[in-house]
């Protein structure tokens, strides 16, 4: 449990960084054009670097079977999140305007900054390798099919291809190609991606604080839908899948990775990504805070469940 405590400490640090962003917005340092500029920087520069760095850090010596497992798990992970989130939205019944935002929160989760440390603490480096493949598959699907669904017009037909053909999608496709073809970036390029990508998490969390500072946060905290959505999507869903899949004899590591990633809170750069796709970033920002706070209680319980 020492490792899990370390993960919780890391998440507490992210919350503190978001509070620094809140303070910066209140003091006028990150308002208006500055916020939009940083959102664009995260979405178009540092996030693609994070994606490429994840592919470069993966251990490629474990064989094709592990790659196939990771690809299948990544596809299953995305489809489960998509179908389950649609079902949960039908139960929660948000307004028509908020439905795309709830879908966005349900499938855009904190895989790297929260998920990978938990996976490594429970299952070791081999699980991180599988997790990195899941991350690559997820990014490829999210920034194509997922974005198409989230930004789809009211008619259900009109789709803006310019929003889909984005820098993160290109980076995800490149990362998958590099990984599958066993091609490594030059050392200087890999180090540059690592350095630039390391800015994604703190900048993303500061944008969370900025979005909260510019909205009526107290009003949303009183909205029961957000808490019901959190419980159903991030707590009930992972637990409900764990029991039958374990009874069916699913591999322990694969099952653990799937359950852990399904329980991750809303992604820390959600406001930046939402802004890039012309969505309201306030609700995702609040969703991050709510799901992150809940995760302090759910992560230790999740670890106990997986180690029984």
Q: What does the pLDDT read at residue 63? A: 56
Residue 98 within a domain = yes
What average pLDDT does the segment 33-54 reach?
Answer: 83
**Confidence at residue 188, expressed as pLDDT on a 0 to 100 scale:** 94
Placement of tokens 């899948």 in the chain: 241
* Digit-coded pLDDT (tens) for 235-279: 999 999 998 999 998 888 889 889 989 998 888 778 777 877 777
Question: What is the C-alpha separation between 248 and 183, in angstroms, rounded?
Answer: 37
Q: Indicate the number of domains in the chain.
A: 1
pLDDT-derived band at 191, boundaries 50, 70, 90:
very high
Residue 198 lies in a domain: yes
- 289 within a domain of the structure (yes/no): yes
Note the pLDDT tens digit of each residue in 83-92: 999 999 999 9
Best CA proximity match to 288, nearest among 124, 78, 110:
110
202 occurs within a structural domain: yes
For 117-142, the pLDDT digits (tens) are 678 777 776 677 777 778 888 888 88
Render pLDDT for 270-279 as a digit per residue (tens, 0 to 9). Answer: 877 787 777 7
Q: How far apart are CA 11 and CA 17, in angstroms?
A: 10
Closest CA to 196 of 13, 51, 34: 51
Domain assignment present for residue 28? The answer is yes
Which CATH number fits the domain that encloses residue 51? Answer: 1.20.1530.20
Distance CA 235, CA 298 (A): 7
Contact 284/218 with Cβ under 8 angstroms?
Answer: no
Taking the CA of residue 265 as centre, how many other CA atoms within 13 Å lie in the half-sphere pointing to its CB?
Answer: 28
Count Cβ atoms within 10 A of the Cβ of residue 151 and give its class: 0-12 exposed, 13-18 middle, 19 or more buried: middle
* 158 contacts: CB under 8 Å, gap ≥ 6: 152
Q: What is the pLDDT of residue 155?
A: 42
Q: Is 308 domain-assigned?
A: no
What is the C-alpha radius of gyration for the chain, rounded to an integer number of angstroms? 18
Domain that holds residue 286: 2-303
Q: Is residue 197 part of a domain?
A: yes
Q: How confident is the model at residue 157 (pLDDT cuts 50, 70, 90)?
A: very low
125 part of a folded domain: yes
Q: What is the pTM of this model?
A: 0.74
Alpha helix ranges (H) inside the chain: 2-26, 33-41, 47-57, 64-92, 99-107, 116-123, 125-141, 147-150, 161-164, 167-180, 187-197, 200-213, 217-221, 224-231, 237-247, 252-262, 270-276, 282-306
């Amino acid at each position: 449990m020492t490792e899990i405590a370390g993960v919780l400490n890391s998440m507490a640090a992210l919350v503190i960084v978001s509070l620094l962003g809140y303070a910066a917005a209140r003091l006028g340092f990150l308002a208006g054009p500055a916020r939009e500029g940083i959102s664009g920087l995260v979405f178009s520069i540092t996030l693609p670097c994070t994606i490429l760095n994840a592919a470069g850090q993966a251990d490629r010596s474990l064989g094709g079977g592990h790659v196939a497992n990771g690809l299948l798990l990544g596809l299953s992970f995305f489809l489960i999140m998509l179908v389950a989130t649609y079902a949960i939205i039908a139960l929660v019944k948000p307004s028509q305007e908020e439905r795309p935002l709830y879908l966005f929160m349900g499938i855009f989760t904190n895989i790297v900054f929260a998920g990978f440390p938990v996976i490594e603490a429970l299952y070791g480096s081999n699980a991180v390798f599988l997790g990195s493949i899941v991350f690559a598959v997820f990014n490829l699907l999210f920034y194509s099919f997922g974005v198409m669904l989230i930004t789809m017009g009211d008619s259900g037909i009109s789709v803006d291809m310019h929003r889909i053909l984005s820098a993160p999608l290109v980076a995800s496709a490149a990362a998958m190609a590099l990984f599958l073809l066993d091609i490594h970036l030059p050392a200087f390029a890999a180090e540059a991606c690592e350095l630039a990508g390391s800015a994604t998490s703190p900048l993303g969390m500061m944008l969370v604080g900025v979005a909260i500072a510019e909205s009526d946060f107290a009003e949303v905290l009183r909205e029961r839908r957000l808490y019901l959505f959190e419980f159903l999507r991030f707590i009930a869903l992972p637990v409900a899948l764990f029991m039958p899949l374990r009874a069916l004899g699913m591999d322990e590591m694969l099952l653990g990775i799937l359950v852990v990633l399904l329980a991750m809170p809303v992604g820390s750069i959600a406001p930046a990504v939402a802004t890039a796709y012309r969505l309201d970033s306030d609700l995702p920002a609040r969703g991050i805070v709510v799901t992150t706070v809940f995760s302090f209680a759910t992560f230790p319980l999740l670890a106990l469940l997986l180690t029984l």
